[in-house]
Structure 1
Amino acid sequence: MIRLLSFLLAMICLPAALHAQDIQSLLQDHQKVVMKSSRKTVGPVLDALVASGQPQVATFLQNWQSKNVYARKDDGLFFYGEKTGKTLSLFDISDQSTVAQDVDAKSLKQIKPNGGVRKEIGKALVAFQLSDPDIARRTDALNAISGSMNATQLAPLLDSIDGETDPTLKRRKERLANYLTARFGDTPAARIAAIDAMTRDLSVDGRAVLSQILETRLEVSKVKPVTVNLARQLELGTDLTRAQAYETLVELADLPALITENDIRLALENNVVGGRVGGAPTATLGSLQARAVAYDALAAAGTVPPRVTDTDIDTALATWGFYQVYIDADAQVTEAALKAQSTVTTRVQINQAADLGLDAISLASIYFLAAVGLAITFGVMGVINMAHGEFIMMGAYTGYVVQQFITNYTLSLVVALPLAFAVTFAAGVLMERTVIRWLYNRPLETLLATFGISIALQQLAKNIFGTQARPLTSPGWLDGAWVINDVVQISFIRIAIFVLALMFLGLLLFILKKTRLGLEVRAVTQNPRMAASMGINPDKIKMMTFGLGSGIAGIAGVAIGLFAKVTSEMGSDYIVQSFMTVVVGGVGNVWGTLAGAAMIGTFQKGVEWLNPSNTLAAQTYMILFIILFIQFRPKGIIALKGRAAGD
């Protein structure tokens, strides 16, 4: 009876025991490779583990990759190990149960895969990580697939799509599955369908996949090949130089290599006998021609290989043809990839133009904000205010100070905008009352005075805030960008500045067109004497106008500080562009300032696109363009009307 119970108990435990031994048995079959593997030899072991379908495989691969696997020297069995001082605790690789504790480390061999093996293990883990409950691991698996695509990844990736719960990861899995199908699909029809779907994909990864499908190799042949997927025949003089063509024949057709001057010299040195070589005394070999004759004599005797003559090269080039052959053998697939690549290239170019346009609009809105205050003061008062950039800097620092007291960035921004206007408005009024009012109609003195104030304000900012850049943090809802597609995107901060520029455009137009202050400003702008005779106080209007322009510069400083560094010199980066914007647009005209900002922003972005590695060139070309523009239209895009236009 006892024997019967023991037999039944053994039969019940047998499946579990067999299951527990499966992965161990598999590893024993590849014991030598597991214990000492390389990137070239580990592949069959990984394939066998993945193909086994055992649930313990993923855990084993992770421990193997982390160097936590040990082999017992006595019997070669593998265990997971955990160090406890100088001894180890061993765990079964099937169920991770404790096998032994306080095991002498000398009785075990730690399996230490090198970097290449760990990378291959990581690729094998991808199949398991694609359905891992941890979203971070699933993301890592997709990153691994993106970095190194191969045909074995397609099946597990397709299997994991339906069960994916995260919408973003699901879309990414579908996109990667389409890439893998395009490259490694089972049938040409499946590959062509995947390639056709990629015509709507503007991503760099998608374009890279098309390029990989269209990858070619160079082949040479005496007749035009008909059994390969031919891309095109290369033409001498157009695609290959004479020298490149013969070098290719040497490499691919085993034609004799060209003998260089150094080869001739070494050959002669190695064959000197009794002070002579090639039938000539060594003393007579001072010239290249003499050495060549001696070398040819050696070649005629069979001592050295003969030189390749120009006639030999011409004959070889006339005999052999040069062809680019697609590595992918299916002509239908490469034809579909060519069409898709052409379509994608056209769409990318259109979207790049749209993206460039958005960048130009964004830059123009920044220039407009920076220059519109200067347009008002310069247009009404004729004052060349070189300290206008420092009012921008003051506004940015005002925003920074507000954020030191109000940690809520949205609320701090709401407070900083009007406060920056108030601070710079007051500073502008103070500057106008104390300095500018005494220098009207004296442009040179005004320029020098405001330049001195500019330097003084910069030094004051350094004394207060230091020379280190200060952060002006944008609210969280301004983080990131509006991504239209993989080519066109614009940051939310730039959008906010564009909206702010539109708001100020509307506000200024309302003030200038619908309020008494605006009426008086326009009157003083067009004819100060006539305005004074009508009861308007030009001094008061000039003071208010200067304060208004300075206040707008302060608000521009807050906006600019959200994406640029806040330093004492930040105003210097915008003063030149502000003056150019005002002059090009038309002095004293809001619409002209808008037009000038649009023209300068578009031109600068265009030059940067043509020469992206040199922003200084963009600035230089922009200045030259403006100089030429002023020669043909000195009063700007939109000139003043009235008597002031002739002053």
Structure 2
Amino acid sequence: MMRALLAFLVLVLTGVSAPVTAQDLQTLLQTHKEEVANPGRRSVGVVIDDLIASGLPQVPDFLQNWQDRKVTQDTATGLFYYDKPLRDVDTGEKVSLEGASLNAIKPNGGVRKVIGAALVQFQLSDPDTARRAAALDAIARSPDPEQIEPLEASLEGEADPAILARKESLVALLKARYGATTEARVAAIESLSGKLSLDARAALNQILTTAAGVATEVPEGTNVARILKPGADITEVEAYGRLVDAGLAPARISQSAIKEALAANIDGGKVAGIQVHDLNTLERRFEAYTRLAEQGLVPPTTSDAAAAAALKTHVFYEAYTESDAAVTDAAKATLTGIERKVAINQTADLALDALSLASIYFLAAIGLAITFGVMGVINMAHGEFIMMGAYTGYVMQQIIPDYTVSIIVALPVAFAVTFGAGVAMERLVIRWLYHRPLETLLATFGISIALQQLAKNIFGTQARPLTSPGWLDGALVFNEVVAISYIRIAIFVLALIFLGLILFILNKTRLGLEVRAVTQNPGMAASMGINPDRINMVTFGLGSGIAGIAGVAIGLYAKVTSEMGADYIVQSFMTVVVGGVGNVWGTLAGASLIGVLQKGIEFFNPSNTLAAQTYMILFIILFIQFRPKGIVALKGRAAEA
């Protein structure tokens, strides 16, 4: 069957017509009429071989319909047709058989599997890329040594680089498991050394599958993976249990079971000839039990000394199910190298995730860092400015259907909206509460609740979609382990832009000079003609506006709800406190530390993100005990607060 299939594939690829003994597919099917109508798993191969050898272009379609149970037979004439709708097997044209008695052909699961295996080989050279990919999926799910030759035959004509690479990988995987010679298998295994895919690791692990064994001596020809030492590699109890399972030692019986057996066999004040009052030691009780076992009255057992002796006289080992040591040695070396590369790439992937999370925390916290650093105001409503920015982005997408344009427009609009809201909040509430931190905290917390309720009244309680542009879909994939979504890359780039922009404003503009002056010494700044009240207002508005822009970016990644600000307010405050209040570089350092810390904890405990948050908060509490002013301490009013 395989040779016929290869010959057919060669003919298809070279465009040469195969010699056809039958004039058409229907004529060929009639020569196997009974087998096609009632196929069996063992005998259907003859039909498939003849179909493949015929070289008829209709064969793949027939096999597909046969597998899908869409073939029917006219019981009067014996001719076969495709069903639903009724069509000719050669031309595919619809036919009408009014009054005919039709019998649906329904091959069982085993026959359909054989048909599917043959059909996969056709699909490997199908012009449709999707069908070729589906054929490779089928081979990966059910690998078989007979698939090696047709896979190799299909390599030469493969034009798609991705499909070609996958075919080559599958060939290597199949040869590693089913290669004809040791040299071929070892070569295939070594060719997998650069692969990080799960398929490659799974294939190598299958080769390295082991089974536990025990014997007085390791059987000759056994491919031993390792020798197990009782008490070190396995417990003595487990080791003795293996002896019992192998029939090499009697089962141990507990002391309580021995006492019950002795009590049940008391006869005339004696047990097996030993006086009951003499059964006051473990040795005497075991002796009595042994006598009962010799008489067949109780199951046999063994003493501690005998069990220890049995362990010493037997070898416990794990043996590879693969008998060829050269193959297992190559697989072990290759798998070790792959796992080392996987560990390195997992570290790189974790670092990318931490960097991405740090950029999100930086965007969320930078506005709070500026506000807190200059004004010393604990703004519990900062998260709601993030929420307002995200909802602004959502509204812009309702007005502008182009997602790219709407996001570009949403960024300045969100800044304007939240800047205005921040200025209004500072003028109406915050300015009356300077140097009163408790009242400020309570007031901003109340404003936070009010803004959440206002958002619920306007937008409802369900999450609103903030859809990213099409060019942000998908991810940048470096290999099978390392990948990062384009949205996260965009947020990272936005964080870098903001970092540069804020540094420019603070260090290169008059506003930045005045902000730094008020931060370091408000009294001296006022004497130099700077209005601290105006600077406070503008600074609070600037911090709120930056939070609004951060909301647009975060909304592309996270859900947009009225409570979304609460998800970031705690991290924002932690970022500011750890990094250093009021310092841009400190905020960056704090965001980086918290991002790395959170991702590191989640890596060791991925199923419990709440635990990760808890451990992170505990770490930060300990951190600020040793460095209360943060990583980058600030001088001036913020440092004194």
Do these two structures clear the TM 0.5 threshold for a shared fold by scoring above it?
Answer: yes
Aligned to 1:103: 100
- How far off is 1:626 after superposition? 1.0
- Structure 1 portions without partners, runs of 5+: 1-12, 273-277, 281-288
Which residue in 1 is equivalent to 2:65? 63
Residues 319, 297 of structure 1: alpha-carbon distance in 2 compared, 3 angstrom cutoff: closer
Report the AA paired with residue 79 of structure 1.
Answer: F
| Partner AA of 2:66 in structure 1 | W
Q: Secondary structure at the match of 2:69?
A: coil
Please, which of 248, 251, 256 is the counterpart of residue 258 of structure 1?
A: 251
1:183 pairs, out of 172, 177, 198, with 177
> Is 228-237 or 198-207 further displaced after alignment?
228-237
Retained in 2: the 8 A contact 1:69–1:79? yes
**Counterparts of 1:644 and 1:221, CA distance in 2:** 75
Which of 482, 485, 489 is residue 488 of structure 1 equivalent to?
Answer: 482
Distance in 2 between residues matched to 1:135 and 1:365, nearest whole Å? 39
Instruction: For 1:130 and 1:305, locate their aligned partners in 2 and report how far apart those are by CA, in whole Å.
Output: 63
> 1:22-58: per-residue Cα shift (whole Å, max 9, x none)?
5554575x67xx8375xxxx25634872586334653
State how far apart, in whole Å, the 2-side matches of 1:384 and 1:24 are.
Answer: 87
Measure, in 2, the Cα distance between the counterparts of 1:19 and 1:464.
68
Compute the TM-score of the two structures, normalised by the length of structure 2.
0.85
**CA deviation string 1:393-413 (max 9, x = no partner):** 000000000000111100001
Aligned to 2:80: 79
- Aligned with residue 586 of structure 2, among 582, 589, 592: 592
- Give percent identity, aligned residues only: 61
Distance 1:528 1:103, change over 3 A: same
1:199 is paired with a residue whose SS is coil
User: Which amino acid in 2 is paired with 1:491?
Assistant: S
Cα contact 1:368–1:501 (8 A) shared by 2: yes
Q: 2:108 aligns with which of 85, 110, 113?
A: 113
Corresponding residue of 1:355 = 349
Residue 125 of structure 2 corresponds to which residue in structure 1?
131
Assess if the C-alpha contact under 8 Å between 1:23 and 1:94 holds in 2: no
In structure 1, the partner of 2:541 is 547
User: Kindly tell me: are residues 447 and 178 of structure 1, through their superposed partners in 2, closer, same or farther at Cα, counting changes over 3 Å?
Assistant: same
Structure 1 window deviating more from structure 2 (156-165 vs 486-495): it is: 156-165
Shift of 1:228: 2.6
- 1:49 is aligned to 48
| Offset at residue 93 of structure 1 (A) | 8.5
Secondary structure of 2:83's partner?
Answer: strand
Cα distance in 1 for residues equivalent to 2:20 and 2:445: 93
Residue 611 (structure 2) pairs with residue 631 (structure 1) = no
Contact 1:386 1:454 (C-alpha < 8 Å) held by counterparts? yes
Amino acid across the alignment from 1:82: D
2:453 partner letter: Q
Aligned length: 610
- CA deviation after TM superposition for structure 1 residue 310, in Å: 5.4
Whole-angstrom distance in 1 between the partners of 2:126 and 2:435: 76
How far apart are the structure 1 equivalents of 2:89 and 2:511? 87
Tell me the amino acid that sits aligned with residue 22 of structure 2: A
Q: Which residue of 1 aligns with 2:204?
A: 210
1:7 paired residue number: none
Q: Which residue matches 1:332?
A: 326
Matched to 2:631, the amino acid is I
Q: Return the alpha-carbon distance in structure 1 between the equivalents of residues 348 and 206 of structure 2.
A: 27
Residue 92 (structure 1) shift: 5.9
Task: Please tell me whether the aligned partners of residues 20 and 95 of structure 1 are also in contact (alpha carbons under 8 angstroms).
Answer: no
Note the C-alpha offset of 1:485: 1.1
Secondary structure (helix, strand or coil) at the match of 2:502 reads: helix
1:433-582 correspondence to structure 2 within 5 Å: 433-582=427-576
3-state DSSP of counterpart to 1:463: helix
In the alignment, structure 1 residue 16 sits paired with structure 2 residue 27: no
Deviation at 1:519, TM superposition (A): 0.3
Q: Residue 347 of structure 1: CA displacement?
A: 1.0
Q: Distance in 2 between matches of 1:560 and 1:433?
A: 28
| In structure 1, C-alpha distance between the alignment counterparts of 2:175 and 2:509, rounded to whole Å | 66
Q: Kindly indicate whether the alpha-carbon contact (under 8 Å) linking 1:49 and 1:57 is maintained by their aligned counterparts in 2.
A: no
In structure 2, distance between residues paired with 1:97 and 1:556:
62
- Pairwise CA RMSD: 3.9
**Correspondences of 1:363-374 after superposition (within 5 Å):** 363-374=357-368
2:196 and 2:612 map into 1 onto residues whose CA distance is 28
**Displacement of 1:479:** 0.6
Q: Separation in 1 of the partners of 2:489 and 2:84?
A: 56
TM-score (norm 1): 0.85
Q: Is the CA contact (8 Å cut-off) linking 2:26 and 2:80 kept in structure 1?
A: no
| Per-residue deviation, 1:187 | 2.5
Distance 1:390 1:14 in 2: 76
Change in 2 beyond 3 A, CA 1:173/1:558: same
Q: Is 2:158 aligned against 1:164?
A: yes
2:239 corresponds in structure 1 to 245
